[in-house]
Amino acid sequence: MGVITDVADYLRASVPKEFLGVCMAVIVLLQISRIASKFFFFSEQRKPATAPESSCKDLNKSGIWTPVDFKTPTPERYPNWDVNKTKPLPYRPFKHNYHVTMGIRNMNWDDWIELDNEFLKYHKRKCERLAERREKLVITAPDAYDAAIELLEEFREWLPARYPTLFKRTNVGIDNLVTGESFNIVERPLKDNVDPMEIAAKLVQDDLAIMMPGEDGQYYLKAACILLAGFWRLADKFGMPLSEIHTSGDVPQFKEKLQMSMERFFVRMRVDRPVVRNNYFLQTDDDLGWSTAIGPEDNNDIGWDAAEQAHDITKVHFRSERQSLRRLPKSGGIVFTIRTYFVPITEIAKEPYVPGRLADGIRAWSDDVARYKGRRKFDNIVIDYLNEQHRKQLEAGLSLEEEPSQYPF
C-alpha cells in the first residue's frame, strides 16, 4: 500500500479501463445536471437546516444512494494504548518543496480514529467550546440525521474494539470509561435533544463532518461538529457543496488543480476504500480551538490580513490536520474526520532534519499558497529561527546525506 499523491493515479490503479469510460460518461452527465441544477434549484439545495419543508423532502427522496451491505472491519486493539502514556503521532507532512495536490493515501481501517494521551485535554477544550457557543459549532440538517446516527453506530462498534481501556459498548450505546460519560444512542429523541454530531465529537479528538450526496451529484456539508478548526467557521460553510467550501475559503489553485479530481473522487468513493491526507499550517497564537491572531471568532472579516506581525517565536504553533474520508454504507454520507495535531514550533524544531526541511517548505510556497497560509505575518521570525536551529543541528553533526527520503506523515 504505497503513498498515493495523485488522485488520478489512484483511480487508474484501482479500476479497470472499461469502467473508467463508463464513469467518465456518468461524470459528464453529472456535470451537465449540476450546471442545470444551478439554474433550477441551486438556491434551494443550499439552504441549511431551516430550509422549508419542501426542499427537505426533495433531498430525502433523492434516492441517489442505494444502501450497500458492508460492515466496517473490526479493528485490532491498539497495542498498549494508554490514556496517559500513548504519545500523539509525529506527523510532519512537509517536504523541501511544495505542490498543491489532494495528497490522499489509502487508509488502513485500524487507523480510522487516532487517540492519544492528549485525549482528555482535547475533550476538555471541546466541552468548553460547546458551552461557550454550541449553536455555532454543531449542526445536523434533518436530511443528514440518519447519517449522523449511522456514524454514532459505527463509533459504538469501532472505538471499544480499538481502545477497550477507554470505551465500552453498552446495550444502548457507548460509555467512556475514563470521563465517566455514558451515551444512549438508541432513544428518540436523544437525551436533552442533543445533536448526534456532538456526541460523536465528544468520543474522539477529531472534528467531524458529513457530506451528503445531493440530487445534482454534488456533495453538501450537512452535518458537523467543528470545535478545533483554528481558521474556519462551520456557520460560514454549512450547507455548501464541496466546491464552494473550497472556493469561498480561497483555497489556492482549487479550480485549476483540485476541483475536477476531488468531485470525481467523492462521486466514486467506495464504502470499502477509506483514505487519509495530511496538511499543515502555522499559527501565531497558541489557541487550539480558534486562532485568535486572525481576528475574534465573531468578527465579519477574519483572516491573515487582520493579523498582527508575529514577534514571539514561542507563540508560533505548527498545526497539522490529519483528515480521513470514508463512506457510510447505509446513508451514503461521506464522513470527514479532521484531527488536529498542535505543537509549538520550538518543539518540532528539535527533531532531526525538521527545521531545515520546514524552512525550505515554507520558502517553496507559491505566492497564492503563501497568501492563504499567512506567510508574510510570520516569516520574519520563523525563517530565521528555523535556519538557526538547522545550523545548530549541522554543527552537532547532522548528516544531510543521511536524511530519510520518506518522511513520516
Ligand X SMILES: *[C@@H]1O[C@H](CO)[C@@H](O)[C@H](O)[C@H]1NC(C)=O
Residue number, 81 or 280, with CB nearest to ligand X? 81
Count H helices, E strands: the chain? 14, 10
Amino acid at 94: F
Residue number, 66 or 84, with CB nearest to ligand X? 84
Give min distance, CB of 244 to ligand X, in A. Answer: 44
Give min distance, CB of 163 to ligand X, in A. Answer: 11
Q: 331 near 359, Cβ under 8 Å? A: no
Please count the CA atoms within 13 angstroms of the CA of 175 that sit on its side-chain side: 9
For ligand X, the binding residues (CB under 6 A) are: 82-84
User: Cell 472505538 identifies what position?
Assistant: 159
3-state secondary structure of 170: coil
Contacts of 62 (CB under 8 A, 6+ apart): 213, 214, 215
326-351 burial code (b ≥16 CB/10 A, e <16): bbbbbbbbbbbbbbbbbbebeebbeb
Q: Measured in Å, how far apart are the chain's first and last C-alpha atoms?
A: 14
> For the chain, what's the residue count?
409
Give min distance, CB of 179 to ligand X, in A. Answer: 12
Q: Which residue in 197, 207, 196, 192 sits closest to 126, CA to CA? A: 207
Give min distance, CB of 117 to ligand X, in A. Answer: 9
Residue number, 83 or 186, with CB nearest to ligand X? 83
What is the Cα–Cα distance from 105 to 107, expressed in whole angstroms? 6
Phi, psi of 303 (to 5 degrees): 145, 175
User: Cell 543521511 identifies what position?
Assistant: 402
The torsion of the CA quartet 79, 280, 339, 228, rounded to 10 degrees, works out to 140
Q: 409 near 97, Cβ under 8 Å? A: no
Residue number, 54 or 80, with CB nearest to ligand X? 80
Amino acid at 224: A
Residue number, 168 or 315, with CB nearest to ligand X? 168
Which strands form 167-169's sheet, in the order they lie side by side?
Answer: 167-169, 173-176, 182-184
Give min distance, CB of 77 to ligand X, in A. Answer: 15
Give min distance, CB of 84 to ligand X, in A. Answer: 4
Q: 213 near 65, Cβ under 8 Å? A: yes
Q: Which residue in 278, 282, 362, 270 sits closest to 316, CA to CA? A: 282
Residue number, 42 or 81, with CB nearest to ligand X? 81
Give min distance, CB of 1 to ligand X, in A. Answer: 32
Give min distance, CB of 82 to ligand X, in A. Answer: 6
Give min distance, CB of 159 to ligand X, in A. Answer: 16
| Grid cell for residue 109 | 481501517
Residue number, 121 or 350, with CB nearest to ligand X? 121
Nearest residue (beta carbon) to ligand X = 84
Give min distance, CB of 317 to ligand X, in A. Answer: 25
Residue number, 177 or 369, with CB nearest to ligand X? 177
Angle at 91 between CA 160 and CA 364, to 5 degrees: 150
Residue number, 167 or 372, with CB nearest to ligand X? 167
Residue number, 159 or 208, with CB nearest to ligand X? 159
